[in-house]
Homo-oligomer: A and B are copies of this chain.
Amino acid sequence: MEMRVAETNLHRAHTQAARRGSLPESAQVEAGSEALDRRGMRSVITRGSAIFYEGDPADWVYKVVSGAVRTSKLMADGRRYIADFLFPGDFFGLNDRTYRTFTAEAICDAIIVRWPRHVFDGAVADDPRLGRFLLTMLCGGLSVAHDRMLLLGRKTAVERIASFLVEMAARESRDRIELPMTRADIADYLGLTVETVSRILTQLKTDRVIQLAGPTHVTILDEAALRGIAEGG
């Protein structure tokens, strides 16, 4: 299995979507993933430490085994943009550049697998199905990116938080959400501040839309309402 792609990530959810969709080869691609996992190198990353930095050579491709990872970018004055949160099964660090355009850090203690980039390059060159698979994945990523640009450009703070919770719930495929990232991470992901994130979460709690049990546990009480808020209803 090979992935020579832009600095991008493949969510397990996207992979599942592709399998449900029109691409027969995606199932076969997945079938090879166990063997692939065995070929990769495993690393344990402690909470907060970096897997790679913006500007590093892009020599490896990664997959999250356990824990969670964030990819981010910094402006010169320290403003931060979080590109993505990665959970078990998600690929990251795929790149068509020689150097990293993002930093990747472990949000909590995590285990990752990694493969040398040329292994992926070779596999893609050999198997045209992989190329098509990648195209589909990239298209999915681009579609998600456009949804997020709409969010960042036009949605209010409540709508952003609601959208975020809906997204996270979809990726955990249940109503009980674990949020391993800090409020600051969420803020930088949604273009808000820590305080606003905190305030709006308590507001949603007050409105009986969600339930909060500690900072990391969120339960969706009224999914319809949450989706309604997310879409600006």
Q: Which residues of A contact B (CB under 8 A)?
A: 4-8, 73, 75-77, 79-81, 83, 95-96, 101-102, 128, 131-132, 134-136, 138-143, 145-146, 148-150, 152-154, 188, 190-191, 231-233
> Complex Cα distance A149/B153, Å?
9
Having A6-B142, A73-B150, one finds 20 other A-B pairs with CB under 8 Å, namely A5-B138, A6-B139, A75-B231, A76-B231, A76-B233, A77-B232, A79-B154, A79-B232, A81-B149, A81-B154, A83-B146, A96-B136, A101-B143, A134-B135, A138-B142, A145-B149, A148-B149, A152-B153, A153-B188, A154-B188
CB distance from A100 to the nearest CB of B (A): 12
From B6, B146, B148, B153, A138 is in contact (CB under 8 Å) with: B6
CB distance from A14 to the nearest CB of B (A): 12
Q: Is the CB of A6 within 8 A of B143?
A: yes
> Complex Cα distance A129/B7, Å?
20
CB distance from A97 to the nearest CB of B (A): 8
CB distance from A48 to the nearest CB of B (A): 22
> Complex Cα distance A233/B73, Å?
16
> Complex Cα distance A221/B188, Å?
34
> Complex Cα distance A134/B140, Å?
14
Known: A6-B138, A96-B139, A143-B7. A191 touches B131 (CB 8 A): no
For A77, list chain B residues within 8 Å (CB).
232
For A232, list chain B residues within 8 Å (CB).
75-77, 79
Q: Is the CB of B149 within 8 A of A149?
A: yes
Q: Is the CB of A5 within 8 A of B135?
A: yes
CB distance from A187 to the nearest CB of B (A): 10
For A131, list chain B residues within 8 Å (CB).
128, 131-132, 135
10 contacts between A and B (CB under 8 A): A7-B139, A75-B150, A76-B233, A77-B232, A81-B154, A96-B135, A96-B139, A128-B131, A141-B142, A153-B188
CB distance from A125 to the nearest CB of B (A): 8
Known: A76-B232, A136-B96. A152 touches B5 (CB 8 A): no
Across the A-B interface, give the 7 residue pairs with the lowest CB-CB distance, nearest first.
A6-B139, A153-B191, A152-B152, A145-B145, A81-B150, A96-B139, A138-B138
Known: A131-B131, A140-B6, A143-B101. A149 touches B75 (CB 8 A): no
